[in-house]
Amino acid sequence: MSRTNPGPDRPGRRRPRWLTLGVTSIGATSFLSDTGHEMVTAILPSFITSVLGGSAAVLGVIEGFSDALTGLSKLAGGPLADDPRRRRRMASGGYTVTAVATAAIGLAVATWQAGILRGISWAARGFRSPARDSMLATLAAEGATGRAYGVERAGDNLGAVIGPLLGGALATWIGIRPTIWVSVIPGLLAAVAIGIAARQARRIVADAPEGRVRLLAGYRRLRGTGLLRVLIPIALFEGGNLAATLLILRANELLIAEGLPTTAAIALTTVLYAAYNAAAALLSIPAGALIDRIGAHTVLALGAAAYVAAYLGLAFTKPAWGLVLLFFVLGGIGIGLGETAESTLVAQHVPDAMRGSGFGMLGLVQAGGDLTATVVGGAIYTAAGAAACFSYAGAWMAAAGITAVLVRPKTR
C-alpha cells in the first residue's frame, strides 16, 4: 500500500492544488449528512419532551448513550479502515444506515423507541467515520492537512446551519413527524458523495489485498506514535463538550423566561442553533489554515477558551435573546476551532497504514467524553439547574485548554 509518486519538481511547475475533487466531495458528504440529521436534532428536544412526554434527564441519557455507541463503533471500525479497499464500503454503508435510522425516529411512539433509533443512527455514524477521515488524510495535499480537515468540518457545520433552519421551517409547515421523515433525502445523497471521494482516494493509494482484521492488533500498532499524549487534551475537551440539545434546552428556557410564547421560543431557538453552527462553519477553514501555521495544539486551546466563555455566559446570563445569541456564537467558534484541531492532530501523528485505528481511538475518546459530559450534565441540569450544569462543563474546557498548551508529543 503506497502513494503514487507525483514525480520530481520541475522549474516553474505549480504546486498541487489543495482543494481537490476528493477533498470537496468529502466536504459535500459532511454537508449533506449533517443537513439531514441536524434537521432532526433541532426538533428532537421538543419531540422527546412535548410529543413523547420525556424529561431533560431522558434526553441527556438518549444523547449521551448515542454518543457512546458512536465511540464504540468507531473503535470497531478503526482497524477495518486501515485497509483502503474497505473504506468505500464502510463509509457508503454507514451514511445510508444513518439516513434511514434517523428518519425512522419519526415513527416512534415512546421515548425508548426514539432512543434505540437514535443509537442505531449514531452507531452507523461512528462506524463510517474512521474510513472517511482516513480517506481525507490520503486526499490532503502536503502541508495542507489542516485546511483539508477544515473543509470537512466546514461542510459538517454548514449542514448544521441549514438543517436546523430547514427542520424548524418544515416542522411549522408539515409537522414534527413528517419533518423527521424528510431528513432521509439529504442523508442518502451523502452516501453518493462519499463514493466520489473514495474513487479519488483509490487513485492515490494503491490497493493491498484484504487480510484478516484483528481489533486489538490494530490498536497495539499505535504504540510509539505519540498518540496517547495527543489524546489527553482532546479527552478533556470532549469531557466538557455538552450535546447541542442541552444548549437548545437552555435557550428555550431563557427565551420563555423573557416572555416569548413557547412556539415562538422554539422557532427562535432553531435560529440561534443555526448561528452556532454558522460560526463553526465560518471558522473551520480559517482554523485549518491557522493550524497549518501555528499548530493544532494552540488552536485546540483557543477553541477550549471560547467554550469556557460560552458556557459561563449560558450559566449566568439574563433572559435576553441577544446575549443568548452571543454565547451560542462563542460556542460555535469553540467547536469550529476544536474539532478541526482534533482531527488534524491524529492525521499528523499516525501513518496511513494505521490511520483508521488512530481515528478509531479518537472516536472512542470523543464519545467517552461526550457520554460523561451529556449524561452527567443532563443529570446536574435536572437536579441543580442550568448554572451548575454549564459551570461543570466549563471547568472541563478550562482544563483542556491548559493541557493542550502544556502536554505535547514529540514532533514526528
pLDDT for res 412: 47
345 in any annotated domain: yes
The Cα 104–Cα 181 span in angstroms is: 7
pLDDT for res 215: 54
The Cα 315–Cα 218 span in angstroms is: 42
Picking from 390, 284, 410, the residue whose alpha carbon sits closest to that of residue 337 is 284
pLDDT for res 21: 84
> Residue 180 CB: number of other CB atoms within 10 A?
26
- The β-bridge partners of 3 are 205
Picking from 105, 122, 143, the residue whose alpha carbon sits closest to that of residue 348 is 143
What backbone phi and psi angles, to 5 degrees, belong to 241? -90, 85
365's grid cell? 475518546
Find the radius of gyration of the CA atoms of the chain.
Answer: 20
Look-up of cell digits 440561534: 272
128's grid cell? 463510517
282's grid cell? 465560518
212 in any annotated domain: no
The Cα 358–Cα 363 span in angstroms is: 9
Q: Are 94 and 127 in contact (CB under 8 A)?
A: yes
pLDDT for res 349: 79
Q: What is the pTM of this model?
A: 0.72
Picking from 169, 73, 145, the residue whose alpha carbon sits closest to that of residue 344 is 145
Q: Are 364 and 130 in contact (CB under 8 A)?
A: no
Look-up of cell digits 482534533: 342
The Cα 339–Cα 346 span in angstroms is: 11
Q: Are 154 and 76 in contact (CB under 8 A)?
A: no
pLDDT for res 402: 93
Q: Are 276 and 338 in contact (CB under 8 A)?
A: no
Picking from 128, 135, 121, the residue whose alpha carbon sits closest to that of residue 89 is 128
pLDDT for res 3: 45
- Angular region, 144: left φ>0, alpha ψ -120 to 50, beta rest: alpha
- Which residue type occupies 96? T
262 in any annotated domain: yes
Tens-level pLDDT at each residue, the chain (412 residues): 444 444 333 444 444 577 788 888 898 998 999 899 888 887 887 787 777 777 777 777 887 778 778 778 887 887 777 777 777 788 888 888 999 998 898 888 888 888 889 989 888 888 888 888 888 887 877 777 788 888 888 888 788 778 878 888 888 888 888 888 999 999 899 988 888 888 777 777 655 445 445 555 556 666 666 777 888 899 999 999 988 878 888 888 888 887 877 777 777 887 887 788 788 888 888 988 898 888 888 999 999 999 999 999 988 877 777 888 899 999 999 988 998 899 888 888 777 777 777 888 887 787 778 778 888 888 898 888 888 999 999 999 999 999 988 876 655 4
8 in any annotated domain: no
164 in any annotated domain: yes
User: Residue 86 sits in which domain range?
Assistant: 21-207+224-406
Angle at 315 between CA 313 and CA 318, to 5 degrees: 70
119's grid cell? 443509537
> Residue 11 CB: number of other CB atoms within 10 A?
4
CATH of the domain at 287: 1.20.1250.20
Based on the structure, what is the number of domains in the chain? 1
pLDDT for res 262: 74
pLDDT for res 13: 45
The Cα 136–Cα 27 span in angstroms is: 10
The Cα 33–Cα 28 span in angstroms is: 8
- Angular region, 295: left φ>0, alpha ψ -120 to 50, beta rest: left
* Residue 234 neighbours by CB under 8 Å, 6+ apart: 300, 342, 345, 362, 365, 366, 369, 400
C-alpha separations of 195 from 132, 207, 279, 319 in Å: 10, 16, 28, 46
pLDDT for res 373: 85
The Cα 61–Cα 59 span in angstroms is: 5
